Amino acid sequence: MKFHTFSVVACDLERREWGVAVASRFLAVGAVVPYARAGIGAVATQAFANTTYGPLGLEQLEHGVPAPEALERMLQSDPQREQRQAALIDALGQPATFTGKECMAWAGGRAGRDYACQGNLLAGPQVIEEMARAFESSHGELADRLLATLLAGEEAGGDRRGKQSAALLVAKSGAGYGGFNDRYLDLRVDNDGEPVRRLSRLIGLHHLYFGKSEPSERVALEGKVLLDLRKMLKRRGLYQGPLQAPYDEPTRQALRLLTGKENLEDRVFLEEATIDPPALAYLRKHFPAPRRARGVPRRAGRKRP
C-alpha cells in the first residue's frame, strides 16, 4: 500500500523542538510516516513508504550527517527510490525533501528555512505552496506551527482522495511525561471524517493539560474566584464548609480532588493558592452554576408590603 499524503518536517532551534505533522486518506498514517528525536532531527517517509528511513535517517543525523547528505545516502541504497517520498530536518535546521519520479501526481515538495513540505496524490501544487506559506508566516511553539501548516494544506485541497487520518509528533529533550523522554507531543487521529480538525482539538487539550502560565499570570484563589470555586465544589459534594471564608485546608483538599479528576493538577498551585487562567476557564465552562427557571424568584418567601 502507498501512503498518499502531505506532511511537513520542521524544527524550532530557539525552543529546541523537532517535529512532523502529516495527514492522509489512509488509516493510521501516524503509525508509519513520522519520526523525530530531540536535538537530532525529524524524518517523514511516505508514498511507497520505506519505514527504515525513519530510524536510519535519525541515526545518520545523530552522527552529524547533514540532512541532504543523509537523505541521498538512503536513496542510493534503495532500489525502489523512485516510488519513495521522504524529508529530513537536521539538528541545525537544514532541510531535505525528495519525490521519486514514480510517485502519483500531483507530487512534489518544497524546502525552506527550518522546514520541508511534501505530498503525493495531491489536489495540485497549491497544496505545498500554501503549506510553505503557512509555516513561514506562523508563530508560537512548533506544534501550533505544524498544525497551521497542515490546516493550510487541507484547505488548499490536500489529498485528492479525501480525509481519514492525521498525526503530529514533536520531540523536545526532557519534555515527555514526567521528564523521562523527549516525546513532548505525540497525537494521532487514526480514522475520522475530519482528522486535521480533530487533531486541532487534541492539541488544544494538550496545551490545557500540560501548558504552563507565567507566575505573574496566575489567578489568586480569593474573592469571587474562590467563591465561584467553592460553589462549584459544593454542587459536586466535595466541600461542605462555608462559602465566605479565607482559603483553607478543606477547600484545598476539595480542589485537589476536582482538578485531579479533570487532569488539571499541573495547572493549579494549591499550596500557594493560585490557578492558571486556562484551568479556571475550563472549570467554569464545564461546571457552570445552574440556571434559574423563568419566573422563579431569586429568593423564596418575599416580604409582604
What ranges do the domains of the chain cover? 5-210, 215-286
40: left (phi > 0), else alpha (psi -120 to 50), else beta? alpha
pLDDT at 305: 41
298 pLDDT tier (thresholds 50, 70, 90): low
CB atoms within 10 A of CB 219: 17
pLDDT at 302: 44
| Percent over 70 (pLDDT), the chain | 94
288 pLDDT tier (thresholds 50, 70, 90): very high
pLDDT at 98: 98
Across 207-217, average pLDDT = 94
The per-residue pLDDT for range 131-173, each reduced to its tens digit, is 999 999 999 999 999 999 999 999 999 988 889 999 999 999 9
Across 252-275, average pLDDT = 97
Across 186-201, average pLDDT = 97
Q: Which fold has domain 5-210?
A: Glutamine Phosphoribosylpyrophosphate, subunit 1, domain 1 (3.60.20)
Strands (E), the chain: 5-12, 17-24, 34-37, 41-47, 84-90, 95-99, 108-112, 115-119, 165-171, 183-189, 219-220, 268-269, 274-275
- Give pTM, 2 decimals: 0.89
Q: Which amino acid is at 119?
A: G
Q: Is the pLDDT of residue 3 over 70?
A: no
DSSP 24: E
* Cell reading at 41: 532531527
Distance of alpha carbon 8 from alpha carbon 119, whole angstroms: 9
* Cell reading at 122: 495531491
115 pLDDT tier (thresholds 50, 70, 90): very high
Q: Which amino acid is at 143?
A: A
Q: Is the pLDDT of residue 251 over 70?
A: yes
Measured in residues, the chain has a length of 305
